C-alpha cells in the first residue's frame, strides 16, 4: 500500500519527505535534541562533551562529503547505507549510559553531516533554481514539525517513546529513499575549476556571514534556553513555532518584495531579544517574547543562506561541496557560540555579567552583518547576467545567440554550446543535448574562450552581456 502511494510522488516531493524524516530524527536527537537531554537528565549525566563532539563531527561530515559523494547515485546509496546505521547507533540509548552513547553521537553526527550535504544533488535536480527557496522552506518546516512531535512525546510522555518515534522516522525515510531516482554522472575534472573562481569568493563571504550570525544561535542554546528549563510544558512545543512561521512568511512573499530588507529587521530582532532576556523575568510571557524574536530572526536568516546556497548549486556540478561547505559554517558558528555561552554561564546563569557579555558578543556580530551583507550582495551581482539569461524565453535566447554582435565570430555549433554555457549547464548535459561527446564540448569551449581571449565561464557571461568592446 505504501509503495502504491509512492508511485504518485515526484522527485521533489520524495526529496522533501526523505530529508524531512531524517532531519526529524537528527534535530530531536543528535543536534541539541531533547531526546539526548532528557535521557542525560534521567541518568544524571552532563551531555556537553557528547553535544560539542557531535557538532564538531557534523561539521567535518558536511565539509568532507563533497570529496567522495559526487553524484545522485552515490547520494542515494549513502542514504540507504546510513539510515540503518543511524538506527543501530540509536539502540544503545534504550540502555544505561556507556561509551556507545558517545560513539553513537559522534559517528552518527559525522554521517548525518554527509547526508545533509548530499541532499544538495536532489535539491538541484528536482527543483528549478527560481523555486528552490520553496523546496527548502517546505523541507525545513516539515522537519521542524516532526521535531516538535518527537520533543513533546519525549518530554511529556517518555524519552524512550521519543527515541522510538525518531527510529520510526528513520525507517520511513529509508522506505521513501528507495524510490529516489539515481541517474548517475561523474563531475567534471578539477581542471575546469577556472569556471568557478568567482563562486568561491561568494562562498567564502557567505560562510563568514553564516558563522557570525549563528554565534547567536549557539549563545541561545547555552545562555537563553537553560534559563527557561522550568517551563518545559511551553518550551517543548513553542520553541520552533516562531521559526516555522518566519520561514512560512518568507516562502510565500511575492517576488516583488525585497527579502534583503527583512535581514535588517532580523538583526534588530536578535538585538532586542538579548536586551529582553537581560531585562525581563523568567515567566512564560517573557519566554514567548524572547523566543519569538530570536527564533523568528533565525528563520529569516536560515532560509536566506539556504536559498543562496540553493542558487549556487547551478554554478558547480558537485552539489555536496557547495551545500556542505555553506552549512558547515552554520555548524561552526553554533559550536563557537555554544563554547562561548558555556564559558560565560559556568558560574551563575542569572548574574548580570554573563548576560551582558552575551549581548556584547551578539552586538559585535550584528555590527559586522551590514558590511558582510553589502559584500555578499555585490558578489551576487556578478551573476546577474546569468540570471537574466536563464529567465529569457527560448525564443529570446535564440535571438540573443543568433543576432548578438559579440556572437558573430562564433560558428553555429559554438553558438549552441555558448547558449548552454550561459544557462549554467554542465559539459555532460551539453553533450547529451547536442548529441556529441564531452571531449567535443570541451574542444568547442576551448575555441570559444580562445576567440574571446578569456579563460572562464564567468568571463564569457561578462563578455556577452556587458558593454565592453571585444
Give the chain's radius of gyration (CA, Å): 24
CA distance 411 to 408: 8
Region 416-431: what's the mean pLDDT? 80
Q: Supply 67's cell numbers.
A: 570529496
- Contact (CB, 8 A) for 122 and 11: yes
142 with 7, same domain: the answer is yes
Residue 386 domain-assigned (yes or no)? no
pLDDT value at residue 362: 58
The domain that holds 440 is classified in CATH as 1.10.10.10
375 with 452, same domain: the answer is no
Please provide the average confidence, as pLDDT, over all residues in the chain.
79
Q: Is the dihedral of CA 140, 146, 150, 155 positive or negative?
A: positive
pLDDT value at residue 390: 47
End residue of a domain, out of 156, 186, 216? 186
- Report pLDDT digits (tens) over 17-63: 999 999 999 999 887 688 998 999 889 888 878 888 888 899 999 99
Residue 217 domain-assigned (yes or no)? yes
- Report pLDDT digits (tens) over 347-371: 554 444 445 655 665 566 566 656 6
Q: Which residues contact 190 (CB under 8 A, 6 or more apart)?
A: none
- Report pLDDT digits (tens) over 211-223: 777 776 766 666 6
Q: Supply 375's cell numbers.
A: 559584500
247 with 328, same domain: the answer is yes
Q: Which residues of 190-215 are buried (b: 16+ CB within 10 A; e: fewer)?
A: eebeebbebbeebbebbbbbbbbbbb
Q: What is the 3-state secondary structure (H, E, C) of 348-392?
A: CCCCHHHHHHHHHHHHHHHHHHHHHHHHHHHHHHHHHHHHHHHCC
How far, in Å, are 59, 73, 107, 133, 445 from residue 327 at the CA level?
A: 8, 22, 18, 15, 32
Q: Is 339 exposed, middle or buried (0-12, 13-18, 19+ CB in 10 A)?
A: middle
- Contact (CB, 8 A) for 170 and 25: yes
Of 282 and 16, the one with more pLDDT = 16
pLDDT value at residue 7: 63
Residue 235 domain-assigned (yes or no)? yes
- Report pLDDT digits (tens) over 375-404: 555 545 443 333 444 445 555 555 555 545
307 with 353, same domain: the answer is yes
End residue of a domain, out of 350, 381, 412? 381
56 with 136, same domain: the answer is yes
Of 349 and 283, the one with more pLDDT = 283
Residue 92 domain-assigned (yes or no)? yes
27 with 68, same domain: the answer is yes
pLDDT value at residue 83: 96
Residue 194 has pLDDT above 80, yes or no: no
pLDDT value at residue 159: 92
- Contact (CB, 8 A) for 339 and 52: yes
The domain that holds 340 is classified in CATH as 1.20.1250.20
34 with 106, same domain: the answer is yes
Q: Which residues contact 331 (CB under 8 A, 6 or more apart)?
A: 55, 58, 59, 62, 113
Considering its fold, how many domains does the chain have in total?
A: 3
Residue 117 domain-assigned (yes or no)? yes
pLDDT value at residue 351: 46
Residue 193 has pLDDT above 70, yes or no: no
290 with 334, same domain: the answer is yes
pLDDT value at residue 23: 94
The range of the structural domain enclosing residue 235 comes to 191-381
CA distance 456 to 58: 34
pLDDT value at residue 50: 87
Residue 261 has pLDDT above 60, yes or no: yes
Phi, then psi, of 354 in degrees rounded to 5: -60, -40
End residue of a domain, out of 315, 350, 381? 381
**Alpha carbon 346 to chain centroid distance?**
31
pLDDT value at residue 401: 54
**Alpha carbon 438 to chain centroid distance?**
31
Region 224-242: what's the mean pLDDT? 82
Q: Is the dihedral of CA 109, 311, 193, 423 positive or negative?
A: positive
Residue 402 domain-assigned (yes or no)? yes
97 with 31, same domain: the answer is yes
Instruction: Say which range, 66-80, 106-120, 253-267, has the weakest mean pLDDT.
Output: 253-267
- Report pLDDT digits (tens) over 56-77: 899 999 999 988 888 888 999 9
Residue 344 has pLDDT above 80, yes or no: no
Element (H, E) at 11: helix 11-25
285: confidence class by pLDDT, cuts 50, 70, 90: very high
206 with 328, same domain: the answer is yes
61 with 157, same domain: the answer is yes
- Report pLDDT digits (tens) over 169-180: 999 999 999 999
pTM: 0.73
195 with 119, same domain: the answer is no
pLDDT value at residue 157: 92
Q: Which residues of 67-84 are buried (b: 16+ CB within 10 A; e: fewer)?
A: eebbbbbbbbbbbeebbe
Instruction: Say which range, 74-83, 217-226, 231-240, 426-435, has the weakest mean pLDDT.
Output: 217-226
Residue 387 domain-assigned (yes or no)? no
Region 251-266: what's the mean pLDDT? 73
Q: Supply 281's cell numbers.
A: 523575568
Q: Supply 438's cell numbers.
A: 564531452
Residue 470 domain-assigned (yes or no)? no
Amino acid at each position: 500500500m505504501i509503495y502504491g502511494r509512492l508511485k504518485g510522488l515526484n522527485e521533489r516531493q520524495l526529496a522533501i519527505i526523505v530529508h524531512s524524516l531524517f532531519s526529524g530524527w537528527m534535530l530531536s536527537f543528535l543536534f541539541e535534541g531533547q531526546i539526548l537531554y532528557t535521557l542525560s537528565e534521567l541518568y544524571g549525566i552532563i551531555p556537553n562533551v557528547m553535544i560539542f563532539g557531535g557538532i564538531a563531527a557534523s561539521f567535518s561530515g558536511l565539509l568532507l562529503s563533497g570529496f567522495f559523494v559526487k553524484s545522485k547515485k552515490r547520494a542515494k546509496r549513502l542514504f540507504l547505507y546510513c539510515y540503518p546505521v543511524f538506527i543501530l547507533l540509536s539502540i544503545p540509548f534504550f540502555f544505561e549510559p556507556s561509551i556507545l552513547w558517545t560513539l553513537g553521537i559522534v559517528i552518527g553526527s559525522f554521517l548525518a553531516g554527509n547526508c545533509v550535504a548530499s541532499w544538495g544533488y536532489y535539491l538541484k535536480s528536482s527543483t528549478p533554481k527560481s523555486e528552490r527557496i520553496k523546496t527548502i522552506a517546505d523541507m525545513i518546516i516539515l522537519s521542524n514539525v516532526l521535531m516538535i512531535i518527537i520533543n513533546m512525546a519525549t518530554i511529556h510522555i517518555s524519552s524512550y517513546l521519543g527515541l522510538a518515534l525518531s527510529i520510526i522516522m528513520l525507517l520511513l525515510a529509508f522506505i521513501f529513499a528507495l524510490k529516489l531516482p539515481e541517474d548517475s554522472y561523474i563531475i567534471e575534472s578539477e581542471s575546469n575549476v577556472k569556471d568557478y573562481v568567482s563562486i568561491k569568493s561568494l562562498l567564502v563571504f557567505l560562510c563568514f556571514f553564516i558563522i557570525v550570525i549563528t554565534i547567536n544561535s549557539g549563545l541561545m542554546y547555552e545562555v537563553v534556553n537553560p534559563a527557561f528549563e522550568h517551563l518545559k510544558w511551553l518550551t517543548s512545543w513553542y520553541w520552533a513555532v516562531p521559526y516555522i512561521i518566519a520561514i512560512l512568511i518568507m516562502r510565500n512573499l511575492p517576488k516583488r518584495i525585497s527579502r534583503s530588507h527583512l535581514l535588517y529587521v532580523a538583526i534588530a530582532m536578535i538585538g532586542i531579544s538579548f536586551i529582553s532576556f537581560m531585562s525581563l523575568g523568567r515567566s512564560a510571557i517573557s519566554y514567548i517574547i524572547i523566543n519569538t524574536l530570536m527564533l523568528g530572526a533565525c528563520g529569516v536568516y536560515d532560509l536566506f543562506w539556504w536559498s543562496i546556497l540553493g542558487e549556487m548549486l547551478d554554478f558547480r556540478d558537485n552539489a555536496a561541496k557547495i551545500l556542505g561547505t555553506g552549512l558547515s559554517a552554520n555548524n561552526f558558528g553554533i559550536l563557537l557560540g555554544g563554547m562561548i555561552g558555556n564559558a560565560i554561564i559556568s558560574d551563575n546563569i542569572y548574574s548580570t555579567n554573563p548576560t551582558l557579555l552575551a549581548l556584547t558578543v551578539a552586538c559585535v556580530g550584528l555590527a559586522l552583518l551590514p558590511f558582510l551583507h553589502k559584500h555578499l550582495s555585490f558578489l551576487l551581482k556578478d551573476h546577474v547576467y546569468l540570471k537574466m539569461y536563464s529567465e529569457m524565453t527560448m525564443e529570446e535566447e535564440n535571438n540573443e545567440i543568433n543576432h548578438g554582435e559579440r556572437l558573430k565570430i562564433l560558428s553555429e555549433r559554438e553558438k549552441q554550446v555558448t547558449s548552454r554555457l550561459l544557462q549554467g549547464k554542465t559539459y555532460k548535459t551539453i553533450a547529451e543535448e547536442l548529441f556529441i561527446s564531452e571531449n567535443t564540448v570541451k574542444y568547442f569551449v576551448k575555441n570559444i574562450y580562445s576567440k574571446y581571449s578569456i579563460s572562464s565561464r564567468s568571463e564569457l557571461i561578462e563578455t556577452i552581456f556587458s558593454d565592453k568592446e571585444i
